[in-house]
Amino acid sequence: MTNIPTELLRTLIAVVDLRSFTKAAHSLGVTQPAVSAQIKRLQMLLGSELLDKSAPGVTLTATGELVVSYARRLLQINDQILHLAGPRPTARKLRIGIAGDFASPVLAWTLAGFRTRWTDVCFEIQRAPGDLLLQDLRLGEVDLIVTFSGMKSDPDARFQWTEEVVWARGGSTRVEASGPVPLATCGDGCTLHRLAIAALEKAGRSYQIVFTAPTLGEVATAVAAGIGVMALARSRLASTELLVCEDRSLPKLPDIVCSVYVREGGDREALEQLADALAEILQAQRAAAQPLHREAESAQVDPNAAIDALRRASGS
Protein backbone atom coordinates (compact mmCIF):
# COMPACT_ATOMS: atom_id res chain seq x y z
CA MET A 1 0.00 0.00 0.00
CA THR A 2 1.29 3.46 -0.88
CA ASN A 3 1.55 5.99 1.95
CA ILE A 4 1.57 9.73 1.26
CA PRO A 5 4.16 11.66 3.30
CA THR A 6 2.43 14.48 5.17
CA GLU A 7 5.21 16.95 4.24
CA LEU A 8 4.16 16.63 0.59
CA LEU A 9 0.58 17.48 1.48
CA ARG A 10 1.73 20.46 3.57
CA THR A 11 3.74 21.73 0.63
CA LEU A 12 0.71 21.44 -1.67
CA ILE A 13 -1.48 23.33 0.81
CA ALA A 14 1.14 26.08 1.16
CA VAL A 15 1.38 26.51 -2.62
CA VAL A 16 -2.41 26.66 -2.98
CA ASP A 17 -2.99 29.02 -0.04
CA LEU A 18 -0.15 31.40 -0.95
CA ARG A 19 -0.76 31.12 -4.72
CA SER A 20 2.98 30.98 -5.30
CA PHE A 21 5.79 28.41 -5.29
CA THR A 22 8.28 31.08 -4.17
CA LYS A 23 6.15 32.26 -1.24
CA ALA A 24 5.45 28.66 -0.24
CA ALA A 25 9.19 27.93 -0.23
CA HIS A 26 9.83 30.94 2.00
CA SER A 27 7.08 29.98 4.46
CA LEU A 28 8.34 26.37 4.66
CA GLY A 29 11.99 27.35 4.98
CA VAL A 30 13.10 25.53 1.83
CA THR A 31 14.11 26.51 -1.70
CA GLN A 32 11.73 26.95 -4.63
CA PRO A 33 13.26 23.95 -6.49
CA ALA A 34 12.61 21.83 -3.40
CA VAL A 35 8.92 22.85 -3.43
CA SER A 36 8.66 22.00 -7.14
CA ALA A 37 10.32 18.62 -6.53
CA GLN A 38 7.88 17.81 -3.71
CA ILE A 39 4.83 18.69 -5.81
CA LYS A 40 6.19 16.55 -8.64
CA ARG A 41 6.76 13.65 -6.25
CA LEU A 42 3.21 13.95 -4.88
CA GLN A 43 1.75 13.89 -8.39
CA MET A 44 3.84 10.82 -9.23
CA LEU A 45 2.58 9.04 -6.09
CA LEU A 46 -1.03 9.85 -6.96
CA GLY A 47 -0.61 9.25 -10.69
CA SER A 48 -2.48 12.43 -11.53
CA GLU A 49 -1.84 16.10 -12.30
CA LEU A 50 -2.91 18.35 -9.42
CA LEU A 51 -2.09 21.73 -10.96
CA ASP A 52 -3.45 22.99 -14.26
CA LYS A 53 -0.37 23.99 -16.27
CA SER A 54 -2.49 25.60 -18.99
CA ALA A 55 -4.02 28.11 -16.57
CA PRO A 56 -2.18 31.20 -15.27
CA GLY A 57 -0.80 31.22 -11.74
CA VAL A 58 -1.59 28.39 -9.33
CA THR A 59 -4.78 26.69 -10.52
CA LEU A 60 -5.95 23.26 -9.35
CA THR A 61 -7.31 20.56 -11.59
CA ALA A 62 -10.53 18.82 -10.61
CA THR A 63 -8.49 16.05 -9.01
CA GLY A 64 -6.34 18.67 -7.30
CA GLU A 65 -9.41 20.25 -5.70
CA LEU A 66 -10.40 16.90 -4.17
CA VAL A 67 -6.88 16.14 -3.00
CA VAL A 68 -6.56 19.53 -1.30
CA SER A 69 -9.89 19.05 0.47
CA TYR A 70 -8.88 15.64 1.83
CA ALA A 71 -5.35 16.85 2.60
CA ARG A 72 -6.64 19.61 4.87
CA ARG A 73 -8.71 17.08 6.84
CA LEU A 74 -5.83 14.61 7.05
CA LEU A 75 -3.34 17.21 8.27
CA GLN A 76 -5.83 18.50 10.82
CA ILE A 77 -6.22 14.99 12.25
CA ASN A 78 -2.44 14.50 12.16
CA ASP A 79 -1.87 17.70 14.14
CA GLN A 80 -4.58 16.80 16.65
CA ILE A 81 -2.92 13.42 17.31
CA LEU A 82 0.43 15.11 17.88
CA HIS A 83 -1.17 17.61 20.25
CA LEU A 84 -2.83 14.84 22.28
CA ALA A 85 0.40 12.87 22.45
CA GLY A 86 2.13 15.71 24.27
CA PRO A 87 4.84 18.24 23.45
CA ARG A 88 7.27 17.40 20.70
CA PRO A 89 11.05 17.45 21.26
CA THR A 90 12.47 20.95 21.09
CA ALA A 91 15.81 19.94 19.54
CA ARG A 92 16.53 21.55 16.17
CA LYS A 93 18.51 19.48 13.69
CA LEU A 94 21.14 21.20 11.56
CA ARG A 95 22.11 19.09 8.53
CA ILE A 96 25.76 19.70 7.65
CA GLY A 97 27.33 18.48 4.43
CA ILE A 98 31.10 17.99 4.39
CA ALA A 99 33.11 17.29 1.25
CA GLY A 100 34.46 13.75 1.26
CA ASP A 101 38.04 15.03 0.91
CA PHE A 102 37.75 17.21 4.01
CA ALA A 103 39.14 15.94 7.32
CA SER A 104 39.79 18.14 10.33
CA PRO A 105 39.34 17.69 14.10
CA VAL A 106 38.33 21.35 14.35
CA LEU A 107 34.91 20.44 12.93
CA ALA A 108 34.07 18.45 16.08
CA TRP A 109 35.54 21.15 18.34
CA THR A 110 33.50 23.84 16.63
CA LEU A 111 30.23 21.89 16.83
CA ALA A 112 30.81 21.12 20.51
CA GLY A 113 31.52 24.78 21.25
CA PHE A 114 28.50 25.91 19.23
CA ARG A 115 26.20 23.62 21.21
CA THR A 116 27.21 25.24 24.49
CA ARG A 117 25.47 28.38 23.20
CA TRP A 118 22.66 26.68 21.25
CA THR A 119 21.75 23.85 23.63
CA ASP A 120 18.62 22.82 21.70
CA VAL A 121 20.55 22.08 18.48
CA CYS A 122 21.64 18.65 17.25
CA PHE A 123 23.75 17.85 14.19
CA GLU A 124 23.52 15.43 11.28
CA ILE A 125 26.73 15.11 9.25
CA GLN A 126 26.66 13.97 5.63
CA ARG A 127 29.68 13.35 3.41
CA ALA A 128 29.63 13.57 -0.38
CA PRO A 129 31.53 15.17 -3.29
CA GLY A 130 31.28 18.96 -3.36
CA ASP A 131 29.14 19.16 -6.51
CA LEU A 132 26.54 16.81 -5.02
CA LEU A 133 26.48 18.81 -1.79
CA LEU A 134 25.79 22.00 -3.73
CA GLN A 135 22.90 20.29 -5.47
CA ASP A 136 21.49 19.05 -2.14
CA LEU A 137 21.86 22.55 -0.66
CA ARG A 138 19.80 24.10 -3.48
CA LEU A 139 17.13 21.42 -3.00
CA GLY A 140 16.97 22.07 0.74
CA GLU A 141 18.32 18.62 1.63
CA VAL A 142 21.18 20.07 3.72
CA ASP A 143 21.44 23.33 5.67
CA LEU A 144 25.16 24.14 5.56
CA ILE A 145 28.05 22.72 3.55
CA VAL A 146 31.85 22.92 3.52
CA THR A 147 33.45 22.09 0.17
CA PHE A 148 36.80 22.00 -1.60
CA SER A 149 37.15 22.82 -5.28
CA GLY A 150 39.55 24.09 -7.92
CA MET A 151 40.34 27.80 -8.17
CA LYS A 152 36.85 29.12 -8.76
CA SER A 153 35.10 31.93 -6.89
CA ASP A 154 31.37 31.74 -6.18
CA PRO A 155 29.38 34.81 -5.06
CA ASP A 156 26.77 32.50 -3.47
CA ALA A 157 29.27 31.24 -0.88
CA ARG A 158 29.13 32.88 2.54
CA PHE A 159 32.90 32.39 2.93
CA GLN A 160 35.70 31.45 0.55
CA TRP A 161 39.48 31.27 0.93
CA THR A 162 42.40 29.44 -0.65
CA GLU A 163 44.24 26.49 0.87
CA GLU A 164 47.78 25.42 -0.04
CA VAL A 165 48.02 21.79 -1.17
CA VAL A 166 51.22 19.81 -0.59
CA TRP A 167 52.52 16.29 -1.10
CA ALA A 168 52.41 14.46 2.24
CA ARG A 169 54.40 11.37 3.29
CA GLY A 170 55.15 9.18 6.28
CA GLY A 171 58.36 9.65 8.23
CA SER A 172 60.24 6.86 6.46
CA THR A 173 58.81 7.25 2.94
CA ARG A 174 61.09 8.15 0.05
CA VAL A 175 59.95 8.63 -3.55
CA GLU A 176 62.20 7.13 -6.23
CA ALA A 177 62.74 9.63 -9.05
CA SER A 178 63.10 6.83 -11.60
CA GLY A 179 59.97 4.92 -10.63
CA PRO A 180 56.23 5.65 -10.58
CA VAL A 181 54.92 7.78 -7.73
CA PRO A 182 53.05 5.55 -5.23
CA LEU A 183 49.80 7.47 -4.79
CA ALA A 184 47.12 7.06 -2.11
CA THR A 185 43.75 8.82 -2.58
CA CYS A 186 40.03 8.80 -1.79
CA GLY A 187 39.20 7.96 -5.41
CA ASP A 188 37.83 9.75 -8.45
CA GLY A 189 35.21 11.78 -6.55
CA CYS A 190 37.88 13.49 -4.45
CA THR A 191 39.14 16.94 -5.45
CA LEU A 192 42.60 16.18 -4.07
CA HIS A 193 42.74 12.99 -6.16
CA ARG A 194 41.96 14.93 -9.32
CA LEU A 195 44.51 17.65 -8.50
CA ALA A 196 47.25 15.09 -7.84
CA ILE A 197 46.58 13.14 -11.05
CA ALA A 198 46.39 16.29 -13.18
CA ALA A 199 49.66 17.67 -11.76
CA LEU A 200 51.52 14.39 -12.29
CA GLU A 201 50.24 13.94 -15.84
CA LYS A 202 51.02 17.56 -16.75
CA ALA A 203 54.58 17.07 -15.49
CA GLY A 204 54.90 13.79 -17.40
CA ARG A 205 55.52 11.92 -14.13
CA SER A 206 54.43 8.30 -14.00
CA TYR A 207 52.37 7.15 -11.03
CA GLN A 208 50.58 4.14 -9.58
CA ILE A 209 47.52 4.32 -7.33
CA VAL A 210 48.56 1.94 -4.56
CA PHE A 211 45.82 2.64 -2.02
CA THR A 212 42.23 3.91 -2.16
CA ALA A 213 39.87 4.40 0.79
CA PRO A 214 36.57 6.24 1.29
CA THR A 215 37.82 8.71 3.92
CA LEU A 216 40.81 11.02 4.05
CA GLY A 217 41.61 9.78 7.56
CA GLU A 218 42.05 6.21 6.33
CA VAL A 219 44.26 7.39 3.47
CA ALA A 220 46.39 9.48 5.85
CA THR A 221 46.86 6.49 8.16
CA ALA A 222 48.05 4.33 5.27
CA VAL A 223 50.44 7.06 4.07
CA ALA A 224 51.83 7.48 7.60
CA ALA A 225 52.54 3.74 7.58
CA GLY A 226 54.66 4.21 4.45
CA ILE A 227 52.39 2.98 1.66
CA GLY A 228 52.99 6.05 -0.54
CA VAL A 229 52.27 9.77 -0.79
CA MET A 230 49.07 11.80 -0.96
CA ALA A 231 47.89 15.31 -1.79
CA LEU A 232 46.71 17.14 1.32
CA ALA A 233 45.91 20.70 2.38
CA ARG A 234 48.85 21.96 4.43
CA SER A 235 46.50 23.12 7.19
CA ARG A 236 45.44 19.48 7.78
CA LEU A 237 48.97 18.21 8.46
CA ALA A 238 48.92 19.17 12.14
CA SER A 239 46.10 16.69 12.78
CA THR A 240 48.01 13.79 11.18
CA GLU A 241 51.36 12.04 11.56
CA LEU A 242 52.43 13.16 8.08
CA LEU A 243 55.25 15.38 6.85
CA VAL A 244 55.55 17.54 3.74
CA CYS A 245 57.28 15.61 0.97
CA GLU A 246 59.91 17.98 -0.42
CA ASP A 247 61.02 15.62 -3.21
CA ARG A 248 61.86 17.78 -6.23
CA SER A 249 60.73 15.10 -8.67
CA LEU A 250 57.15 15.76 -7.59
CA PRO A 251 55.35 18.66 -9.34
CA LYS A 252 53.97 21.58 -7.34
CA LEU A 253 50.28 21.19 -6.57
CA PRO A 254 47.81 24.04 -7.21
CA ASP A 255 45.89 25.71 -4.40
CA ILE A 256 42.27 24.83 -3.76
CA VAL A 257 39.31 26.93 -2.64
CA CYS A 258 37.52 26.13 0.60
CA SER A 259 33.91 27.36 0.67
CA VAL A 260 31.17 27.53 3.29
CA TYR A 261 27.57 27.79 2.04
CA VAL A 262 24.30 28.31 3.94
CA ARG A 263 20.95 27.47 2.39
CA GLU A 264 18.17 29.98 1.98
CA GLY A 265 15.42 29.92 4.59
CA GLY A 266 15.52 27.59 7.56
CA ASP A 267 16.90 28.53 10.97
CA ARG A 268 18.88 31.41 9.52
CA GLU A 269 20.34 32.87 12.72
CA ALA A 270 21.72 29.54 13.95
CA LEU A 271 23.03 28.58 10.52
CA GLU A 272 24.81 31.88 9.95
CA GLN A 273 26.42 31.79 13.39
CA LEU A 274 27.60 28.21 12.81
CA ALA A 275 28.96 29.13 9.36
CA ASP A 276 30.81 32.09 10.89
CA ALA A 277 32.31 29.88 13.60
CA LEU A 278 33.42 27.21 11.13
CA ALA A 279 34.98 29.73 8.76
CA GLU A 280 36.79 31.48 11.61
CA ILE A 281 38.41 28.36 13.04
CA LEU A 282 39.25 26.85 9.63
CA GLN A 283 40.95 30.04 8.53
CA ALA A 284 42.78 30.24 11.86
CA GLN A 285 43.91 26.65 11.31
CA ARG A 286 45.26 27.60 7.90
CA ALA A 287 47.14 30.59 9.34
CA ALA A 288 48.63 28.51 12.15
CA ALA A 289 49.59 25.55 9.94
CA GLN A 290 52.90 26.87 8.59
CA PRO A 291 54.72 27.63 11.87
CA LEU A 292 53.20 24.64 13.63
CA HIS A 293 54.27 22.27 10.88
CA ARG A 294 57.83 23.64 10.84
CA GLU A 295 57.97 23.21 14.62
CA ALA A 296 56.71 19.62 14.40
CA GLU A 297 59.31 18.73 11.75
CA SER A 298 62.32 20.38 13.41
CA ALA A 299 61.62 19.32 16.99
CA GLN A 300 59.88 16.01 16.12
CA VAL A 301 57.07 16.82 18.52
CA ASP A 302 54.15 14.52 19.15
CA PRO A 303 51.40 15.22 16.52
CA ASN A 304 48.85 15.42 19.34
CA ALA A 305 50.88 18.23 20.90
CA ALA A 306 50.77 20.08 17.58
CA ILE A 307 46.99 19.68 17.50
CA ASP A 308 46.73 21.09 21.03
CA ALA A 309 48.88 24.03 19.98
CA LEU A 310 46.62 24.62 16.99
CA ARG A 311 43.56 24.66 19.23
CA ARG A 312 45.19 27.28 21.43
CA ALA A 313 46.24 29.35 18.40
CA SER A 314 42.71 29.30 16.96
CA GLY A 315 41.06 30.11 20.26
CA SER A 316 38.94 26.93 20.36
Cα 277 to Cα 10, 102, 231, 271, 316, distances in angstroms: 34, 17, 26, 10, 10
- pLDDT of amino acid 305: 46
The domain that holds 42 is classified in CATH as: 1.10.10.10
Q: Is residue 65 part of a domain?
A: yes
Report the number of distinct structural domains present in the chain: 3
For residues 57 and 96, the answer to whether their CB atoms sit within 8 Å is no
80 and 141 in a common domain: no
Q: Is residue 301 part of a domain?
A: no
170 and 226 in a common domain: yes
78 and 184 in a common domain: no
CB-facing half-sphere around the CA of 91: CA atoms within 13 A? 9
> What is the C-alpha to C-alpha distance for residues 257 and 154, in angstroms, rounded to an integer?
10
The domain that holds 189 is classified in CATH as: 3.40.190.10
Q: Is residue 308 part of a domain?
A: no
Q: Please give the angle made by the CA atoms of 250, 251 and 254, to the nearest 5 degrees.
A: 135
> What is the C-alpha to C-alpha distance for residues 264 and 30, in angstroms, rounded to an integer?
7
157 and 271 in a common domain: yes
267-314 confidence digits (pLDDT tens):
788 899 999 988 888 888 778 765 544 444 443 434 444 445 444 444
206 and 143 in a common domain: no
45 and 19 in a common domain: yes
Q: Is residue 50 part of a domain?
A: yes
276 and 152 in a common domain: yes
If 0-12 CB within 10 Å is exposed, 13-18 middle and 19+ buried, where does residue 155 land?
exposed
Q: Is residue 182 part of a domain?
A: yes
Range of the domain at 227: 165-256
Q: Is residue 57 part of a domain?
A: yes
Last residue of a domain, one of 84, 103, 120: 84
**Tens-digit pLDDT string for the chain (316 aa):** 678 889 999 999 999 988 889 888 887 878 888 899 999 999 999 999 999 988 888 899 999 999 999 999 998 888 778 777 665 556 688 999 988 666 666 788 888 888 888 888 899 998 888 888 998 998 888 999 999 887 677 888 999 999 899 999 999 898 888 899 999 998 887 889 999 999 999 999 999 999 999 888 899 999 999 999 999 999 888 778 899 998 888 999 999 999 999 998 777 888 999 999 888 888 887 787 655 444 444 434 344 444 454 444 444 4
Q: Please give the angle made by the CA atoms of 179, 182 and 188, to the nearest 5 degrees.
A: 130
Three-class SS string for 64-122?
A: HHHHHHHHHHHHHHHHHHHHHCCCCCCCEEEEEEEECCCCCCHHHHHHHHHHHHCCCEE
- pLDDT of amino acid 123: 93
- pLDDT of amino acid 79: 79
